[in-house]
Structure 1
């Protein structure tokens, strides 16, 4: 057990990425709107995350390459290869730019709660993320993000326990799925905020920073399982804590902060602000980092966090996020849109991943029948939800 926890690492950055402002916002709205009834969607999201992230991490460990490197090397047809590279770069850049705007907006929510609205707040959050990324040291990033995630998690888990929820109702929400038309976007948002597409690329690249031997696969798996479960528990705790707001409108940062009142009372606003600033910064680091890894692999650059081309990519994504967070959109709307965009992008990335883990590059580490069935189920569910959402938005349903 001691050895397992010593090897916890890369997947904590995955958890740091999905426990961001999007998670806090979507989970709070879910709890306030529907109580415990959508907890099952978080269980589904956790299972899907573990399945997909394990496959991505396994690819990274066994091949020693990132997902985009592998895709580029696996396709022999030049036109198809170029098309796939354009698709990956475009999808990840657009998705990460939207996600980054949500991350920056989340940090801004915290600053607004503490000091009121100011034009420079998106830039301030962006500068914090910029400084940490410029360090260019994986171990420093890992430790900072773990500390920030722990800071966020403790508060919401404490609240979820303190409000003394109806545990039978919680269990029913966890294991008795319900599905109504007006819950569709929230369900997709819960999946999109947990199974983050760019995390697949990030995880495959980061395992190489910690492990090099095939025999370390068991630690990679434990790292993934433990980190995702702990992250999912935090998300569920936010939903449970927010159930106390049921029937109330969530329109402003102060509305979100009310979910912490059962434990922190008059200090709830300050604690919430600190937590969501931490959430914004953690995710504001991982989204640009993942985009840079994708472009690096697609274009065949050398793997180096301090490479100027690598830095230019994450600077572009970070700058885009700051720009969109600064031009007047309401933070909660930006965050919600980012999560739905992630949910729509996920099936594309899941299909690419499923194809890769069944190629000969993994030799004896290829997917078995059970893993393929589980992964295919995840793809089908995300395709169904994504299709329903597009149809709903288009006014077809």
Structure 2
């Protein structure tokens, strides 16, 4: 009997018939095999580096990086700059590096298995657990989506000089699901080109602001190089880290990487894809870091140490900038609004994308794309319109809502990170491409650190919001159930890994039998 290719995951051998579960149809994928230099290498070794092939692999990482630039992140940036000055730039850099590690593991899972995280969770966990994981992922997505839609609506209100109220901006933004479907029908590369334009718009807008405000270069470099943290800036520090890792983005990236046609029968091709995605994702997050740095330093230069610092939020940030710097060839208020609109529109479209993969993967739904997109958008748009109608004239209430939404997403982070780390560590899932023990240790350390930081954010928030015995009892019950589910996910991984290592089949046929 011929032995299976050791570089190919056993699970892929067993599931190769389930074409309908693929994130992309074969006709939708970008073909990257027939490139000069492919004749070199072999089944077990990646072909030589090719700039042309790197270009063909470029796209998924930049779509993933949008989550690092959404309106929620921009608000965290501007508040960190206004309240902490340049002192948290080092944390922004290292938080981005931690986010890169998590996203590379997500990409690795998708490339090696040919399936995305939501699909693998559906097979990995019992029905009650996977349904709970799906609900958590949907809640995280809805919370993120509300922030993104509100951000776009704020930008539209500014650019229309107040003619279009917040609720109308929400309705305009809701149409992005149809724009998404229209662009997707023209192919993956066309959709990626639109996102490239939106990222470039953000980069130009915030770089322009950076040039207009002229932040202190020495203080900027010191802020990046010298770690500094004080009791006065701890809340902003937690916000900086909490904004970087988005639960829905972990699910999204494992699906996006499947838009390229990779021959899973050859270990060298899989390794080649991993190499190119590592380069591409790293470049994408370097760009996102620079854009976030622009925003943080602009507000550090403009408002650090001023009376306005404590009151700045996403709603009034542009008006504060306008009061400080006035007009010009293009008033800084509108430069800010253009960047904010690009951030909001791009992140809402990727949210639609992520929602399709999450719903289809966990529930194994085979709905038409436009129906799934409509359902996904409705989940966020309906509550967002209510929010816009209620809070349209209250900047303070919108900021409070944003705090609640940040906490909502923080609650969900373990339910994306723990399944990801469990799956990417398993040999029966990943074959020879499972992560090494050293990488596992470091990845679990990063995940644990992120979970603890977000846990601190939750405790701080709920302790401030606590009102009486009833609230305390409800919060305690929720916290207990929350911790128990996290323990269950971790222990299940440890137990399953131990069982498999002691009963490991010799080949794929043993696993079938």
Q: Same fold (TM over 0.5)?
A: yes
Give me the whole-angstrom Cα distance separating, in 2, the residues matched to 1:336 and 1:234: 22
Give me the whole-angstrom Cα distance separating, in 2, the residues matched to 1:311 and 1:90: 17
Partner of 1:208 in structure 2? 258
Give me the whole-angstrom Cα distance separating, in 2, the residues matched to 1:183 and 1:239: 14
The structure number with the bigger radius of gyration is 2
Instruction: Identify which range, 274-283 or 120-129, moves more after superposition.
Output: 120-129
379, 384, 392: which one aligns with 1:317: 379
Deviations 1:304-327 (A, max 9, x none): 8x5355334423334345334423
Partner of 1:273 in structure 2? 337
Q: TM-score, normalised by structure 1?
A: 0.89
The 1:185–1:343 alpha-carbon spacing in structure 2 relative to 1, beyond 3 Å, is farther
Match runs of 1:327-366 below 5 Å: 327-329=389-391, 330=395, 331-360=398-427, 361-366=429-434
Pairwise CA distance, 1:98: 1.2
Give me the whole-angstrom Cα distance separating, in 2, the residues matched to 1:19 and 1:257: 21
The 1:157–1:45 alpha-carbon spacing in structure 2 relative to 1, beyond 3 Å, is same
Partner of 1:153 in structure 2? 203
2:77·2:295 contact (CA, 8 Å) conserved in 1? yes
Deviations 1:263-299 (A, max 9, x none): 9745211222122111111111112321220121112
The 1:394–1:177 alpha-carbon spacing in structure 2 relative to 1, beyond 3 Å, is same
Deviations 1:160-196 (A, max 9, x none): 3554433332233223333344434422332233221
Answer 1 or 2: higher relative contact order, Cα 8 Å, separation at least 6: 1
Give me the whole-angstrom Cα distance separating, in 1, the residues matched to 2:148 and 2:314: 16
Instruction: Identify which range, 23-32 or 136-145, moves more after superposition.
Output: 136-145
Instruction: Identify which range, 287-296 or 234-243, moves more after superposition.
Output: 287-296
Partner of 2:14 in structure 1? none
Count of aligned pairs: 390
Pairwise CA distance, 1:341: 3.0
Q: In the alignment, is residue 126 of structure 1 matched against residue 174 of structure 2? A: yes
103, 110, 119: which one aligns with 2:155: 110
284, 288, 303: which one aligns with 2:348: 284
Deviations 1:84-117 (A, max 9, x none): 2222211111111111111111011112212215
Partner of 1:78 in structure 2? none
2:139·2:408 contact (CA, 8 Å) conserved in 1? no
Give me the whole-angstrom Cα distance separating, in 1, the residues matched to 2:208 and 2:326: 7
Partner of 1:390 in structure 2? 458
Q: In the alignment, is residue 39 of structure 1 matched against residue 89 of structure 2? A: yes
Partner of 1:15 in structure 2? 65
Secondary structure, in 3 states, of the residue corresponding to 1:120? helix
In structure 2, stretches of 5+ residues that fail to align are 1-50, 264-269, 467-513
Secondary structure, in 3 states, of the residue corresponding to 1:36? coil
2:83·2:233 contact (CA, 8 Å) conserved in 1? no
Deviations 1:8-60 (A, max 9, x none): 10011111232121122221111111111111221122111110100101110
Q: In the alignment, is residue 294 of structure 1 matched against residue 320 of structure 2? A: no
The 1:368–1:257 alpha-carbon spacing in structure 2 relative to 1, beyond 3 Å, is farther
2:84·2:236 contact (CA, 8 Å) conserved in 1? no
Pairwise CA distance, 1:206: 0.9
Partner of 1:226 in structure 2? 283
In structure 1, stretches of 5+ residues that fail to align are 76-80
Deviations 1:46-90 (A, max 9, x none): 111110100101110111101011122234xxxxx2122222211
1:160·1:238 contact (CA, 8 Å) conserved in 2? yes
RMSD: 2.6
The 1:211–1:196 alpha-carbon spacing in structure 2 relative to 1, beyond 3 Å, is farther
Secondary structure, in 3 states, of the residue corresponding to 1:315? helix
1:88·1:294 contact (CA, 8 Å) conserved in 2? no
Q: TM-score, normalised by structure 2?
A: 0.70
Secondary structure, in 3 states, of the residue corresponding to 1:395? helix
Pairwise CA distance, 1:252: 6.5
Secondary structure, in 3 states, of the residue corresponding to 2:199? helix
Give me the whole-angstrom Cα distance separating, in 1, the residues matched to 2:458 and 2:248: 21
